[in-house]
Amino acid sequence: MARDLLLEIGAEEIPASFIVPALEDLKRVLAERMADARLKHGDVRTFGTPRRLAVLVRDVADAGEDVTKEVLGPSAKAAFDAQGKPTKAAEKFAEGLKLSVEALGRTTTAKGEYVSARVEEKGRPADAILQDALHTAVHGINFRKSMRWGDVDTAFARPVQWLVALLGDTELPVVLGDVKSGRTTYGHRFLAPGPILLKAPTDYESALEKAHVLADIGKRRAALVQKVTAAAKKAGGQLLEDEGLVDQVTNLVELPSPVVGSFDERHLDLPPEVLVQEMKSHQRYFSLLDGQGKLLPKFIAVSNTPVRDEQLSLRGYERVLRARLADGRFFFDEDRKTPLGDRVEKLGRVMWQNQLGTYLEKVERFRSLAGWLAQHADRAGEAATVERAATLSKADLVTGMVGEFPELQGVMGREYARASGEPDAVALAISEHYLPRGAEDALPTQDAGALIGLADRLDSLCGIFAIGKAPSGAADPFALRRSCLAIIRIVLGRGYRFSLSAAVDEALRLLAPKLANVKRKPGEAAPREQVLEFFRGRLKALWGEQHRTDVVEAVLAVGFDDLVAAKKRLEALSPLVGHSDFQPLAAAFKRVVNIVEKQGKDVAGGQTNPQRFTDEPERNLHTAFTQARDKVGQHVRADDFAGALREITGLKPAVDTFFDKVMVMAEDKDLRENRIRFLTEIGALFNQVADFSKIQAEVAAAAA
Amino acid sequence: MYFQDLILTLQKHWADQGCIVTQSYDLEVGAGTMAPYTFLHALGPEPWNVAYVQPSRRPADGRFGENPNRLFQHHQFQVILKPAPKNVQELYLESLRKIGMDPMEHDIRFVEDDWESPTLGAWGLGWEVWCDGMEVTQFTYFQQCGGFDCRPVAAELTYGLERLTTYLQNVESVYDIEWVKGVKYREVFHANEVEMSKYALHESDPQMLFALFDAYEKECKRLIERHLPLPAYDYALKCSHAFNLLDARGAISVTERANFIKRVRDNARLCAEGYLQMRERLGFPLTKTPWTVGEQPPVLEGKPASDYWKTVTLNKPVEKKEKTDKTEVARGA
């Protein structure tokens, strides 16, 4: 009869961010172990709070399933002698499996014939399987940081206090450090401190709920949101939405109990970002807004205990915030005493990166690069704003407020620039040059911030690659992947047309004094090539989300120096690839490319000479081609790649006839070479949009 | 509750659990952790359970007696429990109840906090303990000290006495704390804050402090060579305080700073090693006592962590001789 399984690890308060990944580990290890042992089971649920990690598996079978396996032994040649008698090797193999030699069979594999045997493997009883599985699971959680406790040599996120391991109504023995398993769990630390004996695994959730613990993360989150929203409404405001904060607070409490507090209205003249940060970053308070979206002088703190008298604990919550706001006000007032411009020089004492120099040096480099970009992206009109905003863009790093709240970089720059009388466009560019901060974040709304953001990130990217610290695997300490994606998104989002490789060259030129002594590893590509290759990788990943990867590769293969054009080429080509008439076109192109690749090397360059054509089909193709080429050129110049593709597609009948009727590899050398030159030109025409040979014909056909 | 009663209540609570109540260490330190009662005794296999008040000097935090919360010198109530008892959180919560912080009336929480001291080569994991959103205690399970693994693990509890009292007495400024009936913190320590801040931030003599730093460091190293780790550690502490004074004065540049921290840490490492060697020579005498605090359940899997010290030899005469030879060769060359 199927039984349910419960595993609970009770611990001292586990960091909020550890809980979900730990539960994923537990669930994965258990599921893998059960699958390996062919132990069937039903639904798997997890529970987690700061004090517990738990997994409930429904309907676990009594034993793993029996299987019959074929085991391969020595090769038939080694197992039987010339007379067909079994050798020592065969006997040993049979003996190992406790079978007689006669019971052995033969199996032919790709590598030849082997001796084989059919072995029946009995499924182990569930208790035995799970005892091992639970041991592995509780020891197999990868915490970002773990610790030892007492005199124990085992490590966990925080000291383990109790273990529950129940299969049906039976306890399974599991040991972790100085704790052994049983059926006793504990409720809320203060509201239900006594032991709770669990009769059956499925009692778990309700037993804890009675003991003031909402163990299901999803339910606890929903309860938190509901309670906090209601509290906000009651306080006459609405919640400032913050999913990250909700997630975090959910895993800081076992039972969410919001209380509404307030702060002195006079602090409302601080920038709202500062107030929100003050409430959120250390205290994890929620902010409240009025109907117009303005901050109210109120907050919601979420307590883990529904205290007897809210007013008493509010005294504490408000007191802490009062001290923090006093600090914030102090920084804000002090910081504004010095004009932002006067702080720039101080950046010379802040190191950005040891080899690449201080922030002041970085600012000087990317200011120059931003100017270059303004010229080349046809935004020369922005040059003055770019110059000033770039100069000031990092000056807030040496203010007291950003020292205290690094998250406010950019925002404080904007506020302090305004306070110093800088033009609004400059102030805005300072804060917007950090945008987008992540994949979901908004782009800069104006050119100056966008161009500075591009320059700053290109400088980081080129500099870090040039000193050989490119991201490898999961290690990306300078968040270059994110920077690269941000560059792509800004360029496309704002439609900047400049040569990416030229911009990389310019960034590297500006970095050159810092790179004089850098030695490259032998065989390593030049930084320029590494950076562009990195872009190619990001583009592939980004565009591959919405387009077929072979189509993305085909487009990238003919270049992405103009990112906007590359995107347009992709968007023109991608819908065509699915069409039924596309595959023959790709096939025709592939024939062209094959011949050019095979024969082209030996052919001297130069133009096709139409006078040398001898056959009608090649003259026809040439006429069609010449007309198409002009039109494709016009379309490409107008960014109309769909139009260009239409022209190219129109050539297909003529190309087909050409291949049917004309012998490219003619005896006559001149004739032959002229034809290859012609095909090279046709290939080049196709290449204006994409390298069609990269598109997989089978996939294209299947899609059609 | 008066400031003084808070101290007496905490002392009584931890004394009742079996802790020794020692007096404050008599050198300038930045935190209770730096007193040898914590830093050195957290090392090695011996049990150690102690509670003490430690005046802690933070020159850079000096605010001339003008800031209601920041002080040149504040007081920490420091508890070390080694090995950390299984019920250490409960013992701690009981101490809060005794000073009037009832967890049914206040939101008491253990909020993740990783502790690391680059100057001590020490780190541990634990929490800030919050009472209604306010940090009232640092709770740390020591993992490493002076670069050595802590086996067994010690629990360190550091109560910020001024902060706790401002909350208990419901006053906004530390200077309004009543020390005993009729005497405020202001009367006891305000002048000290003013003068010490002036000294640390404006009046200290960097040249002298740099010279002292070098001299203290040299003396620390010399005493280590003489197998006197306890006085050596005193000089390590003096070195550290000289560094804190220089830092508060802004006399150390950003690039030099890391190097100074490394020099302070190197002293701490040498003292930790010297201390362990000394205790080993003495046969780790406290391991022979039945001294424990709280619940100490047996280890159920693997060997106890403290068995490690049975397998390593800290005093390695043979290697040491080779080292001396090498030094002589180097000198000769």
Average pLDDT value for chain A: 92
- Say whether both B140 and B240 belong to one domain: no
Enumerate domains of chain A plus CATH numbers.
Answer: 3-63+125-210 (3.30.70), 67-120 (no CATH), 218-336 (no CATH), 342-545 (1.10.3210), 567-703 (1.10.730)
Contact between B106 and B132 (Cβ < 8 Å): yes
Average pLDDT over residues A420-448: 95
Q: Smallest CA–CA separation between B98 and chain A, in Å?
A: 16
Q: Residue B324: is its pLDDT beyond 80? A: no
The answer to whether position B77 is within a domain reads yes
* Dist. CA A694–CA A676, nearest whole Å: 21
* Dist. CA A677–CA A682, nearest whole Å: 9
Q: Residue A699: is its pLDDT beyond 80? A: no
Please state the pTM of the whole predicted model.
0.79
Q: Name every chain A residue with its beta carbon within 8 A of the beta carbon of B86.
A: 150, 159, 161, 178
- Say whether both B271 and B186 belong to one domain: no
Task: Provide the angle, in degrees to the nearest 10, between the axes of the packed helices A272-281 and A310-336.
Answer: 130
Q: What is the pLDDT of residue A53?
A: 98
Q: Name every chain B residue with its beta carbon within 8 A of the beta carbon of A175.
A: 300-301
The number of C-beta contacts closer than 8 angstroms across A and B is: 138
Say how many CA atoms lie within 13 Å of A235 toward its Cβ.
26
Q: In this predicted structure, which of A70-79, A484-493, B12-21 has the lowest mean pLDDT?
A: A70-79
- Say whether both B220 and B273 belong to one domain: yes
Domain that holds residue B61: 3-202
- Say whether both B181 and B221 belong to one domain: no
Measured CA to CA in angstroms, residue A201 lies from A8, A45, A57, A170, A386 at distances of 10, 12, 9, 10, 64
Q: Name every chain A residue with its beta carbon within 8 A of the beta carbon of B305.
A: 148, 150-153
Contact between B273 and B146 (Cβ < 8 Å): yes
CATH of the domain at B20: 3.30.930.10
Q: Suggest the residue from A152, A189, A260, A315 to mutate for an interface test with chain B (most B CBs closer than 10 A).
A: A152
Q: What is the pLDDT of residue A698?
A: 56
Q: Do A312 and B106 touch (CB under 8 A)?
A: yes
Length of chain B: 333
Q: Residue A670: is its pLDDT beyond 50? A: yes
The answer to whether position B100 is within a domain reads yes
Tell me the percentage of chain A whose pLDDT exceeds 90: 68
- Say whether both B11 and B124 belong to one domain: yes
Give ∠ CA A666-A606-A634 in degrees, rounded to 5.
110
Among B286, B304, B326, which residue terminates a domain? Answer: B286
Among B169, B202, B235, which residue terminates a domain? Answer: B202
- Say whether both B177 and B269 belong to one domain: no
CA nearest neighbour of A640 among A566, A572, A694, A585:
A572
Q: Do A147 and B167 touch (CB under 8 A)?
A: no
- Say whether both B106 and B231 belong to one domain: no
Give ∠ CA B221-B225-B228 in degrees, rounded to 5.
90
Q: Residue B319 — pLDDT band, cuts 50, 70, 90?
A: very low
- Say whether both B215 and B181 belong to one domain: no
Q: β-strands A67-75, A112-121: how paired?
A: antiparallel
- Say whether both B139 and B256 belong to one domain: no
CATH of the domain at B276: 1.20.58.180
Q: Do B108 and A305 touch (CB under 8 A)?
A: yes
The answer to whether position B292 is within a domain reads no
Q: Smallest CA–CA separation between A415 and chain B, in Å?
A: 26
Q: Residue B254 — pLDDT band, cuts 50, 70, 90?
A: low
The answer to whether position B246 is within a domain reads yes
Question: Shortest CB distance from A316 goes to which of B151, B167, B253?
Answer: B167
- Say whether both B149 and B65 belong to one domain: yes
The answer to whether position B266 is within a domain reads yes
A569-586 confidence digits (pLDDT tens): 999 999 888 777 787 778
- Say whether both B162 and B221 belong to one domain: no
Q: DSSP state, B73? A: E
B70-90 confidence digits (pLDDT tens): 899 999 999 999 999 999 999
A175-208 confidence digits (pLDDT tens): 999 999 999 999 999 999 999 999 999 999 999 9
Q: Residue B4: is its pLDDT beyond 90? A: yes
Q: How far is CA B236 from the centre of its chain?
A: 13
The answer to whether position B304 is within a domain reads no
Q: Name every chain A residue with its beta carbon within 8 A of the beta carbon of B304.
A: 151-153
CB atoms within 10 A of CB A620: 16
Question: Shortest CB distance from B298 goes to which of A149, A178, A317?
Answer: A178
Q: Which value does ipTM take for this structure?
A: 0.92
- Say whether both B225 and B127 belong to one domain: no
Q: DSSP state, A444? A: P
Average pLDDT over residues A579-599: 80
Q: Suggest the residue from B89, B256, B301, B307 to mutate for an interface test with chain A (most A CBs closer than 10 A).
A: B301
The answer to whether position B13 is within a domain reads yes
Q: What is the pLDDT of residue A680?
A: 87
Print the SS3 string covering A555-578. Answer: HHHCCCCCHHHHHHHHHHHHHHHC
Among B186, B202, B218, which residue terminates a domain? Answer: B202
Q: Name every chain A residue with its beta carbon within 8 A of the beta carbon of B142.
A: none
What is the tally of structural domains in chain B? 2
Q: Name every chain A residue with its beta carbon within 8 A of the beta carbon of B69.
A: 323
Q: Do B132 and A313 touch (CB under 8 A)?
A: yes
Q: What is the pLDDT of residue B234?
A: 98
Average pLDDT value for chain B: 92
B113-131 confidence digits (pLDDT tens): 999 999 999 999 999 999 9
Q: Residue A610 — pLDDT band, cuts 50, 70, 90?
A: confident
The answer to whether position B321 is within a domain reads no
